[in-house]
A = this chain, B = another copy of it.
Amino acid sequence: MTRTATALAAALDARSTTALALTESALDAAREADSRLHAFITIDAAGALEAARAADRRRAAGRARGPLDGIPVAVKDNLAVAGLPWTDGTRAHAQRIASADAVVVERLRAAGAVILGTLNMHEGALGATTDNPFWGRCQNPLAEGYTPGGSSGGSSAAVAAGLVPVSLGTDTMGSVRIPAAYCGLWGLKPTAGLIPLRGLSLLSWTLDSIGPLATCPEDLSLMLAALAGPDPDSPGSVAPPPGWSPATGPRDLSCCRLGLPAQLTEVTCAPEIRTALERLVARAEAAGAQIVPLEMEGWAPGPMRRAGLLVCEAEAAHLHGADIAATPDGFSESYRAALEYGAQTTGLRLAGAYRQLLLAGHAARRALAEVDAILMPTAPQRAFPHGTEAPANQADFTALANASGLPAVAFPLPAPDDGLPCSAQLVGPAFAEGALLALARALHGAP
């Protein structure tokens, strides 16, 4: 399945395929590939086939629910899918069966999407390799033996392998955008609160967002249209402003201002990432975009990423400490150590960490008064082999959107060496998802 959700929807509309055919083929492909990929934690064949038949009946009766009706999707395993295991990537919760759908799963079902199952992830969403000690070492479909990124590594692997056209991940410091980058995909972290979090096993209530991964910006729009909107039972949920729309449209780069943070030089980037970004900037300039250097005082990428990690560790210790105490061997030693570190840090350090997030977020919002979007690499390097040490700075660029609550979209860039893909991200003003996707699409397509 290499077609986009948009193309599949057109095929369903044209009766050139059925939801059942798509789902059967996706299930076959998933079962065949997954012993090698480890992208799934649970495949729900029975539920998916039933949902697919229902979608086909709706379509036959002229009551299709929209473009996602009958489209196979899969969601990260920290999201509750009623009746399926809700492991959060841990062994401790291997037997936990979700009693109700997460809001996002409810909304996907309401849009007619066929939930194929739940996707592998870095344990507890705290890490970026998806080398999961309990659920398998998730493989990058573009390069066997390489990480697909994380923590939503199953979400990127399943899409990159063509098992589903779109998936859901969660993004606390970059956990949607980094796997999107490593697998050559598009990934969106929406404005904080736009997609409700009820039914997500939180890592950090301060930084968590749910976001889609796809192979094109149009599919991200489709997903966002189905997922956005307030929920009274989700703390932090907000209503988008009147007129908000996730739709991408044509975007003329000649009237756009792109900000390049001075901080790009503070982060050690792989040469191919620098080259890919420079080429993108050159293409944007050739298309008439104005490139604006940004100071962004108050944002120090490395220290802020460490501050964000400390906030995650402390908040996760509050959220999951009782579960760890009850089932210590249901979690890896390194996960437990990280949460213990957060739990035992001083109030002084933790308060300072929150302060850094606030000031970095302020710097980002302030910069966006001057430009349409902030342009950066998604990650400072490409996917790397499993078993090698994960670069500490993977989230240096992505964490800014979490600290600020601003939307960000990651999109693929051609690799200068024809190797694994590179990736850029745009960070935009609150609730500017549609404009941001349109801008990313225009940049991606700029000759």
- Which A residues fall within an 8 A CB radius of B? 205-206, 232, 235-236, 241, 298, 310-311, 313-315, 317-318, 321, 342-352, 354-355, 358-359, 361-362, 366, 369
B236 lies within 8 A of A310 (CB): no
Give the Cβ gap from A44 to chain B, nearest Cβ, in Å.
31
A-B interface, 10 closest residue pairs, ranked by CB to CB distance from nearest: A314-B347, A235-B362, A343-B348, A345-B347, A314-B351, A318-B351, A347-B350, A318-B352, A315-B351, A350-B350
Query: 27 interchain pairs (CB within 8 A)?
Result: A232-B366, A235-B298, A235-B359, A236-B358, A236-B362, A310-B347, A313-B347, A314-B348, A315-B351, A315-B354, A317-B347, A318-B351, A321-B348, A342-B348, A342-B351, A343-B346, A343-B347, A343-B348, A344-B346, A344-B347, A344-B348, A345-B347, A346-B347, A347-B347, A347-B350, A350-B350, A350-B351
Give the Cβ gap from A299 to chain B, nearest Cβ, in Å.
12
B235 lies within 8 A of A318 (CB): no
Give the Cβ gap from A74 to chain B, nearest Cβ, in Å.
29
A351 lies within 8 A of B232 (CB): no
Q: Whole-angstrom distance between the alpha carbons of A352 and B205 in the complex?
A: 11
Query: How many identical chains are in the complex?
Result: 2
A358 lies within 8 A of B314 (CB): no
B351 lies within 8 A of A317 (CB): yes
Q: Whole-angstrom distance between the alpha carbons of A205 and B355 in the complex?
A: 8
Q: Whole-angstrom distance between the alpha carbons of A298 and B345 in the complex?
A: 26
Q: Whole-angstrom distance between the alpha carbons of A198 and B220 in the complex?
A: 38
Interface centre among A205, A343, A346, A349 (most CB of B within 10 A): A346
Q: Whole-angstrom distance between the alpha carbons of A205 and B314 in the complex?
A: 19
Q: Whole-angstrom distance between the alpha carbons of A232 and B367 in the complex?
A: 10
* A311 contacts across to B, CB distance below 8 A: 351
Interface centre among A235, A241, A355, A369 (most CB of B within 10 A): A235
Give the Cβ gap from A446 to chain B, nearest Cβ, in Å.
31
Decide yes or no: A358 and B205 within 8 Å by CB, A315-B351, A347-B346 being known contacts: yes
B362 lies within 8 A of A318 (CB): no
Decide yes or no: A317 and B366 within 8 Å by CB, A355-B205, A358-B205, A358-B235 being known contacts: no
- Taking A321-B348, A345-B346, A350-B351 as known contacts, 15 extra A-B pairs with beta carbons closer than 8 A to each other, sorted by chain A number, are A205-B355, A232-B366, A232-B369, A235-B359, A235-B361, A310-B347, A314-B350, A315-B351, A317-B348, A317-B351, A343-B346, A343-B347, A346-B347, A347-B350, A350-B350
Q: Whole-angstrom distance between the alpha carbons of A206 and B355 in the complex?
A: 9
Closest to A355 in B: B318
* A298 contacts across to B, CB distance below 8 A: 235
Q: Whole-angstrom distance between the alpha carbons of A351 and B347 in the complex?
A: 9
Closest to A366 in B: B232
* A310 contacts across to B, CB distance below 8 A: 347
* A206 contacts across to B, CB distance below 8 A: 354
Q: Whole-angstrom distance between the alpha carbons of A431 and B362 in the complex?
A: 20
Closest to A340 in B: B348
Closest to A237 in B: B362
